[in-house]
Structure 1
Amino acid sequence: MDHPTLIPFGPKSNCNLDVCPLEWTIFKYRPSMAASISFIALYSLLMCFHIYLGFRWRSWWFTICVALGCVEEILGYAGRIILYHNPFNFAGFMLQIVCIGSAPVFYTAAIYVTISMVVESLDVSLSRLPPKMYYAIFISCDVIALVFQAVGGVLSTTSSGQSTIAVPLSLAGLIFQVVITFIFSVLFADYLIRYFRAHKRQSPSSVNTNNSNENGSSPAARDRPDLKRLKIFTGFMAAAILLILARCIYRVEELREGYTGKMMTNEPLFIALEGVLIVLAVSCLLVGNPGFVFIAPEKGLKATLRGNGQQTDGAGVETGSSSDASAEKVQV
């Protein structure tokens, strides 16, 4: 790196593999073309599935957030393909650092709003926070984390990676994201434990069987959510949260060493703890879509959980009474 005319890193980089050794690059490896193409294909496929379910269940906010996250992932892995062709390409490096690094913020935003709906629809009295505070607080914190990461990325770009505060800013954003995600996970787990315990204590005799309908379900039974469906939904949602949290912890440790640290040069670790974990998280969110458990009885009214008395097909679409069959799906 003592050649005076060669610049290996930064917007003015003029290196390529013909004139500079691979060891001069940030990663010290050429990103796997097969892995990058595979992740682009997986995120494209997952995005199509999410968009389909979004239109089917009209879960607009959730779908837009997840789709934006998938777009960022696709752009990020496109950046890694650029780096495969030229590991010194600074635009490709920043594209993958910024896009792959910030994509999970969109997934957590979708989760926060959905969980606030769950709390509002099940039992607000069991929650430590009012439903709207879940997304008011945590989305705001996610935006702050995203700003820190973005500013750090911009400073790295404009300073050719020489800024002394770029990495600390990005690291602060990631650490803040880990803390916020962990706090949310604790609140979510606390609410689920309190809800299922309270539901378990409810006496079956409280249901008025004298008012049962012709299908054998009482109005009280129909008002209660389908617990099996709810447990599946919350289980996959919890799995997505934990996968994202694990990934964020890995990225904190990776960036803690800076762009020249050993973890930055370990591609198998990146593929496993960034690529695979987030693909699994986005896959879990297919079942974590609010349309899996929510319906809205009339257009414009508050979404409600699918009840025990409602018959659904495998995709969660109503096949019950005429009034239920004409219901609008959740508009979130």
Structure 2
Amino acid sequence: MLNNNPFKLDGFLTYPVRLTIAPAPFAAAIYLTLSRIVVVYDENISDFKPRTYIITFIPFNVIALILQAAGGPMASTAEPGDQEATDLGVNVIIAGLAWQVVSLCIFQQWQRTSTSGALRSARYFRASLWVFGIATLLIVVRSVYRCAELREGFQGHLADDEASFMVLEATMIALAVFALTGFIMVLRGWGVE
């Protein structure tokens, strides 16, 4: 089973592409969950309707995902020695990552400024803002790292640095998952289903 190289560039299902697009579902989960929280409390507690969160940020997420997923095959299927085509694919991936960072930052700002003071004082909502904020920040850190890593290409210095990869890639996403999962477990303890 270990005979095959898991890092071999083989079109769309390449290891770097799967790794790059992995956090998009977490971002979508954060957007959807916040919209559901607004529904549970009262739609009037937010400057935005719950549907507005979904209509705005899910398409942002889809655009980031499409750019990242399209750039991988462009880079990995370029003819050997065609550095221009490879660089174009890498730049498309970076554009998708940058779009994801910008949309997450806009979401974070929107989340903080669009809710009423009464809602922010509710224990559940206050906790959810903290958890979503932490998870969003972790995904942003990871995405910024991936932008810096891919700026040098798939064979760059950061791409070969295992320590920074483990800390800024795997650990950031694992902590975001633990924060979101732990929050769900705490909610169950509070009796919130």
TM range (shorter): 0.7 to 0.9
Within the alignment, does 1:113 sit opposite 2:8 as a pair? no
Match of 1:231 among 126, 150, 164: 126
Displacement after TM superposition at 1:136 (Å): 1.5
| Match in the other structure for 2:15 | 96
- Compute the TM-score of the two structures, normalised by the length of structure 1: 0.50
Kept after mapping to 2: 8 A contact 1:234/1:288: no
Match of 1:125 among 14, 37, 44: 44
Within the alignment, does 1:187 sit opposite 2:110 as a pair? yes
| Match in the other structure for 1:150 | 69
Paired amino acid for 1:276: T
Displacement after TM superposition at 1:131 (Å): 1.2
Within the alignment, does 1:275 sit opposite 2:149 as a pair? no
User: Which is greater in Rg?
Assistant: 1
Match of 1:285 among 172, 176, 180: 180
Displacement after TM superposition at 1:230 (Å): 3.4
| Match in the other structure for 2:53 | 134
Kept after mapping to 1: 8 A contact 2:142/2:168: yes
| Match in the other structure for 1:165 | 88
Kept after mapping to 1: 8 A contact 2:17/2:68: yes
| Match in the other structure for 1:175 | 98
Unaligned runs of 5+ in 1: 1-80, 202-226, 294-313, 319-328
Kept after mapping to 1: 8 A contact 2:139/2:176: yes
Unaligned runs of 5+ in 2: none
Displacement after TM superposition at 1:115 (Å): 0.5
Paired amino acid for 1:140: P
Displacement after TM superposition at 1:113 (Å): 0.7
Q: 1:49-106: per-residue Cα shift (whole Å, max 9, x none)? A: xxxxxxxxxxxxxxxxxxxxxxxxxxxxxxxx969x7487334996321111101100
Displacement after TM superposition at 1:247 (Å): 0.7
Structure 1 133/288 Cα, relative in aligned 2: closer, same or farther at 3 Å?
farther
| Match in the other structure for 2:189 | 315
Displacement after TM superposition at 1:124 (Å): 3.1
Q: 1:275-298: per-residue Cα shift (whole Å, max 9, x none)? A: 001000001111444x865xxxxx
| Match in the other structure for 1:262 | 157
| Match in the other structure for 1:246 | 141
| Match in the other structure for 1:210 | none
Displacement after TM superposition at 1:264 (Å): 1.4
Higher percent of residues as helix: 2
Paired residues in the alignment total 189
Displacement after TM superposition at 1:126 (Å): 4.3
Over the aligned positions, Cα root-mean-square deviation in angstroms equals 3.0
Paired amino acid for 2:70: V
Q: 1:176-221: per-residue Cα shift (whole Å, max 9, x none)? A: 1111011001111223xx43x34589xxxxxxxxxxxxxxxxxxxx
Paired amino acid for 1:90: L
- Compute the TM-score of the two structures, normalised by the length of structure 2: 0.83
Look up the SS of the partner of 2:155 in the other structure. Answer: coil
Paired amino acid for 1:155: M
Larger deviation, residues 252-261 vs 277-286: 252-261
Look up the SS of the partner of 1:129 in the other structure. Answer: coil
The percent of aligned pairs where both chains have the same amino acid is 33
